[in-house]
Amino acid sequence: MKHKKLTTGTLVALGLSIQSLYAVAIAETEKLSEPKEHSHMHHNHKANNKLSEGTCGSGMRMDMDGMVMHENIDNIPKDCAEISEEITLEIKAGVKYSEPYPGTVFGLDSHSWHVKPCARVTVKFTNEDEIRHQWMLHGLPRYLYPGGMFHIEANGETTKTGTFILPSSHYTYLVHCDIAQHMEKGMKAQLVVGKGRKDLSSIPGLTEPKFADTFPNKTSTAVSTFRSENIE
Ligand SMILES: [Cu+2]
């Protein structure tokens, strides 16, 4: 078997792909494990692990079914005296949930959730489609959540569960699926904490889009013009 030599560039690419295309990264890693030179491969594995820790932080779990990123089970935000409530949100994602909302393709069984400030929230995210979907929350304190983000990804028909703890502020957080066009086509939601802020725009079933698509129907005009010119 031909052995592929790893360069720094390859390792960097591998590290980056863990964030975006982790499935490819896993496939690559498995391929890299095949060669028999154990000492050499061990070295590469260590380098790769270091790189992914540096890129993604410590709170990351990943397997073939998907991942949970920036999970926080027991680190209470500094502005919270204690956990206010333990809440589990069971959330379903899939094409079928877009049906009530014309113009959307993807959806969630609910697009708005309410929890208390300082709540410990466990999200049980079930993807009912064969493609990837994500439940990505933005705006969390960055000293606890790198990039202010908590993220679950479910790769195909599977359930992924992850936990995070909210700070004390009353706020309305953006939740979306970051896969190309999924948010624009319906996978946009909000997590309302306490009194929240203003509802976000373009939440299916809740708020109007900021820039609505219009689908003018020219057929009726064309038909009447045709009729007046050719029949009457
Ligand atoms: Cu999606």
Q: What is the pLDDT of residues 44-100, one digit of tens each?
A: 333 344 334 334 456 788 988 999 999 999 999 999 999 999 999 999 999 999 999
What's the CATH number where 100 sits? 2.60.40.420
**pLDDT tens across 155-208, in order?**
999 999 999 999 999 999 999 999 999 999 999 999 999 999 999 999 999 998
- Paired tokens of 171: 């706020």
- Paired tokens of 44: 């590469």
Q: How many domains does the chain have?
A: 2
If asked whether residues 95 and 143 sit together in one domain, one would say yes
Ligand 1 centroid, distance to 96 Cα (angstroms) = 12
**pLDDT tens across 122-163, in order?**
999 999 999 999 999 999 999 999 999 999 999 999 999 999
If asked whether residues 77 and 188 sit together in one domain, one would say yes
Residue for token pair 């960055």:
142
If asked whether residues 134 and 45 sit together in one domain, one would say no
Residue 219 lies in a domain: no
- CA 76 to chain CA centroid, Å, is 23
Strand partners, 91: 125
Q: How many CB atoms lie within 10 A of CB 15?
A: 20
Ligand 1 centroid, distance to 177 Cα (angstroms) = 5
* Cα distance between residue 30 and residue 110, in whole Å: 37
Find the domain containing 37 and state its range.
Answer: 8-56
If asked whether residues 44 and 74 sit together in one domain, one would say no
Ligand 1 centroid, distance to 143 Cα (angstroms) = 27
